[in-house]
Amino acid sequence: MTVNPSGWRPSTPANEQGEANTVTGNRALMLEEALLFEIGDTERTGVDFGEVPSAVQRLGKLARNRPIGLAGMTEPEAVRHYTRLSRQNYAIDLGLFPLGSCTMKHNPRLNEKLARLPGFADIHPLQPQETVQGALEVIDQLAAWLITLTGMHSVAMSPKAGAHGELCGLLSIRSALDARGDKREVVLVPESAHGTNPATAAFCGFRVESIPATSAGRVDLDALRERLGPDVAGVMITNPNTCGLFEPDMIAISDAVHAVGGFVYCDGANFNAIVGKVRPGDLGIDAMHINLHKTFSTPHGGGGPGSGPVVLSEALSPFAPLPYVTKTSDGFRLVEEETALAESSESFGRMVAFHGQMGMFTRALTYILSHGANGLRQVAEDSVLNANYILRSLEDVLDAPFAHSGPCMHEAIFSDKGFSGGLSTIDLAKALIDEGFHPMTMYFPLVVHGAMLVEPTETESKASLDQFIAALRSIGERAKAGDQSLKAAPVHAPRRRLDETLAARKPVLTYRDPEPAQAAE
Ligand SMILES: *Cc1c(COP(=O)(O)O)cnc(C)c1O
């Protein structure tokens, strides 16, 4: 395809499906967009710089010896380039985002408004503490809420995402074991666990062993009990688990682990289903991360950073990382140095440069305060109701492996059992794109063949759930009938089915000017 120096690329006469193409490549309001490198050039810029004053160059051999060659654009061209690209994206502000385990819910605009207040948005982590008392109070208040909601003893606020929180929890467990001179090295993780769980345990130097699941999709308590012993440092359990089910034996699991001297880590990514209803502290849990960017909104998934505070039991609290906020007689103080602490402190150290994700703290606290205790309970109830509505509306079309074992929590799981003609989960997911939806989580958890994990969240209306269900019913029926046209999906997207494995394994991250011969193709 030729790139016209003035920017636009004349399109080919017909696309792969043989449909006539337009001259511009655009299809009505679906606008094509070439790469910045193809449509920009080094002569254009959106800003006029004055002459660069001569200055002594101090870079030595590191000084650039040829032009950098970055493509430039005028301001209106740049605005259009990025706006056009953004329209090819899917976002929570456009429609239902059914990604299971991700809790992609609406982010209330109120959160954004408060996070943008200059007293929060324009401060710097190195400012004197007396000038950021309000921000420290937000951290302190949010911490108090997280402790109340979970019934735990303390909370480490600084971890920057769920996986980082897992690291915090396991480092605390490691320190607690070290403090008693205990060399345990095995961490047990259920087969259905999120990949970050075994990865974190291995990263902390533990040996990971898996615990089998029962046919009802829960941890096999007998198998767990049998494996427990003096070499087990702890277990990492997700509750509600990644099959969308509550682990009813959680207290028995915690008791059994504690009886052999181990610790219980809970992956709290699914807290949305139980917030305000169940306090993890009552289930014998020693450490649990809370994905603020899931349960307590705050944008994520390309929209913003995560935040993963970790609530800790009394046994693990002394080992929590620095820094943390305390309230003193003259206000709030960020405790940054171990020497400033009580002598008994056994903190394992510091995980981040500063105190955590301030913008996410402000959003999460806004979310909590604007919902109140009753509202948070309703979040859990409505999210569970919505997931069960999806489960029961589709179980006659899509195989639902755990539907027989009762209601699900906030996510519903289906499998590709019953699809014919060589069709699989990926074909259904791609057809969902044609229907205007982001696909659900696919092929996870691994314990379900061709898994489709759907999490609607509480912020979807019945009308939007009904539309999603109608789309899935239609595609599910086509998949069962072996409709081979599904293999071509998506057909209405700007790009067709891509080789995602190749893209993930061998991404082409560097732009090279096409050879003249190729450019004339
Ligand atoms: C999202 C998630 C994680 C990881 O959290 P991040 O914030 O993405 O690091 C861990 N476990 C489960 C079950 C999750 O859903």
More confident residue, 151 or 66: 151
Co-location of 139 and 229 in the same domain: yes
User: Per residue in 379-403, pLDDT tens?
Assistant: 999 999 999 999 999 999 999 999 9
CA of 41 to the centre of ligand 1 (A): 41
What pLDDT shows up at residue 29?
Answer: 87
Q: Is residue 182 part of a domain?
A: yes
Q: Is the CB of 171 under 6 A from ligand 1?
A: no
CA of 289 to the centre of ligand 1 (A): 9
Q: Is residue 99 part of a domain?
A: no
- HSE-up of 511 (CA within 13 Å, CB side)? 11
Co-location of 274 and 219 in the same domain: yes
Q: Is the CB of 266 under 6 A from ligand 1?
A: no
Query: Are the C-beta atoms of residues 61 and 402 closer than 8 Å to each other?
Result: no
CATH code at position 436: 3.90.1150.10
Sign of CA dihedral 310, 311, 316, 321: positive
More confident residue, 386 or 511: 386
Q: Is the CB of 189 under 6 A from ligand 1?
A: no
Query: Are the C-beta atoms of residues 189 and 211 closer than 8 Å to each other?
Result: yes
CA of 371 to the centre of ligand 1 (A): 23
CA of 165 to the centre of ligand 1 (A): 9
Residues 6+ apart with CB under 8 A from 364: 111, 142, 292, 296, 297, 298, 307
Question: Of 346, 365, 384, which residue sits at a domain end?
Answer: 365
Q: Is the CB of 291 under 6 A from ligand 1?
A: yes
Query: Are the C-beta atoms of residues 101 and 411 closer than 8 Å to each other?
Result: yes
- For tokens 């200055």, name the residue: 55
Co-location of 285 and 433 in the same domain: no
Is residue 498 scored above 50 in pLDDT? yes
Q: Is residue 511 part of a domain?
A: no
Tell me which DSSP letter residue 279 carries: -
Residues 6+ apart with CB under 8 A from 69: 42
The token duo for 334 is: 């960020």
Q: Is residue 340 part of a domain?
A: yes
Residues 6+ apart with CB under 8 A from 53: none
CATH code at position 215: 3.40.640.10
Co-location of 243 and 305 in the same domain: yes
For residue 235, count CB atoms less than 10 angstroms from its CB and return exposed for 0-12, middle for 13-18, buried for 19 or more. buried
Residue nearest to atom 4 of ligand 1 (CA): 162
Average pLDDT score over the chain: 92
CA of 66 to the centre of ligand 1 (A): 44
What pLDDT shows up at residue 517?
Answer: 52
The token duo for 332 is: 């709030």
| Residue 50: band (very low, low, confident or very high) from pLDDT cuts 50, 70, 90 | confident
Residue nearest to atom 2 of ligand 1 (CA): 269
Amino acid in the structure at residue 85: L
Closest ligand 1 atom to the C-alpha of 166?
10
Co-location of 395 and 330 in the same domain: no
Closest ligand 1 atom to the C-alpha of 193?
13
Mean pLDDT is highest, among 57-61, 166-170, 327-331, for 166-170
Amino acid in the structure at residue 33: E
Is residue 331 scored above 80 in pLDDT? yes
Q: Is the CB of 162 under 6 A from ligand 1?
A: yes
**For the residues 248-270, what does the mean pLDDT come to?**
97
User: Per residue in 397-423, pLDDT tens?
Assistant: 999 999 998 999 999 999 999 999 999
Range of the structural domain that residue 468 is part of: 376-505
Co-location of 400 and 328 in the same domain: no
How many Å apart are CA 438 and CA 116, to the nearest integer?
A: 29
What pLDDT shows up at residue 362?
Answer: 97
482-486: which pairs have CB atoms within 8 A and are 24 or more residues apart? Answer: 482/419, 482/420, 482/421, 482/422, 482/423, 483/421, 483/423, 484/421, 484/423, 486/423, 486/427, 486/428, 486/430, 486/431
Q: Is residue 392 part of a domain?
A: yes
Is residue 519 scored above 50 in pLDDT? no
Closest ligand 1 atom to the C-alpha of 161?
7
CA of 501 to the centre of ligand 1 (A): 22
Co-location of 262 and 357 in the same domain: yes
Q: Is the CB of 241 under 6 A from ligand 1?
A: no
Tell me which DSSP letter residue 4 carries: P
Is residue 48 scored above 90 in pLDDT? no
User: Per residue in 158-212, pLDDT tens?
Assistant: 999 999 999 999 999 999 999 999 999 999 999 989 999 999 999 999 999 999 9
What pLDDT shows up at residue 521?
Answer: 42
Question: Of 365, 397, 431, which residue sits at a domain end?
Answer: 365
For the chain, first and last CA: distance in Å?
A: 6
Helix or strand holding residue 165 (H, E): helix 162-179
User: Per residue in 18-47, pLDDT tens?
Assistant: 566 789 888 888 899 999 989 999 889 888
Residue nearest to atom 7 of ligand 1 (CA): 162
- CA 125 from chain centre, in angstroms, equals 25
| Residue 1: band (very low, low, confident or very high) from pLDDT cuts 50, 70, 90 | very low
Query: Are the C-beta atoms of residues 88 and 33 closer than 8 Å to each other?
Result: yes
Q: Is the CB of 242 under 6 A from ligand 1?
A: yes
Q: Is the CB of 411 under 6 A from ligand 1?
A: no
What pLDDT shows up at residue 452?
Answer: 98
Residues 6+ apart with CB under 8 A from 487: 423, 427, 497
CA of 14 to the centre of ligand 1 (A): 43
What pLDDT shows up at residue 344?
Answer: 58
Query: Are the C-beta atoms of residues 308 and 159 closer than 8 Å to each other?
Result: yes
Helix or strand holding residue 156 (H, E): strand 154-156
User: Per residue in 307-327, pLDDT tens?
Assistant: 999 999 999 999 999 999 999
Is residue 515 scored above 70 in pLDDT? no
CA of 162 to the centre of ligand 1 (A): 5
What pLDDT shows up at residue 520?
Answer: 44
Q: Is residue 98 part of a domain?
A: no
Q: Is the CB of 425 under 6 A from ligand 1?
A: no
Structural domain total, the chain:
2
Mutate to test the pocket of ligand 1, among 99, 239, 291, 441 (most ligand atoms within 8 A of CB): 291
Query: Are the C-beta atoms of residues 306 and 359 closer than 8 Å to each other?
Result: no
Tally of CB atoms within 10 A around 276: 18
Residue nearest to atom 3 of ligand 1 (CA): 162
Q: Is residue 164 part of a domain?
A: yes
Q: Is residue 66 part of a domain?
A: no
Enumerate the β-bridge partners of residue 186.
207, 232
What pLDDT shows up at residue 2?
Answer: 44
Closest ligand 1 atom to the C-alpha of 306?
7
- For tokens 């259009």, name the residue: 80
CA of 395 to the centre of ligand 1 (A): 27
Helix (H, G, I), strand (E, B) or coil at 413: strand
E-assigned strand segments in 203-340:
207-211, 232-238, 263-267, 287-289, 310-312, 324-328, 331-335
Is residue 426 scored above 90 in pLDDT? yes
Helix (H, G, I), strand (E, B) or coil at 132: coil
Q: Is the CB of 193 under 6 A from ligand 1?
A: no
CA of 269 to the centre of ligand 1 (A): 6
Closest ligand 1 atom to the C-alpha of 308?
7
Co-location of 352 and 430 in the same domain: no
- HSE-up of 333 (CA within 13 Å, CB side)? 11
Co-location of 153 and 296 in the same domain: yes
**CA-based Rg of the chain, rounded to a whole angstrom?**
26
Co-location of 355 and 408 in the same domain: no
Q: Is the CB of 357 under 6 A from ligand 1?
A: no
Co-location of 387 and 247 in the same domain: no
How many Å apart are CA 49 and CA 10, to the nearest integer?
A: 33
What pLDDT shows up at residue 10?
Answer: 53
Helix or strand holding residue 61 (H, E): none
Co-location of 392 and 357 in the same domain: no
**For the residues 329-348, what does the mean pLDDT come to?**
79
Q: What global pTM score does this model have?
A: 0.90
CA of 369 to the centre of ligand 1 (A): 24
Tell me which DSSP letter residue 31 carries: -
Is residue 436 scored above 70 in pLDDT? yes
Is residue 117 scored above 70 in pLDDT? yes
CA of 300 to the centre of ligand 1 (A): 12
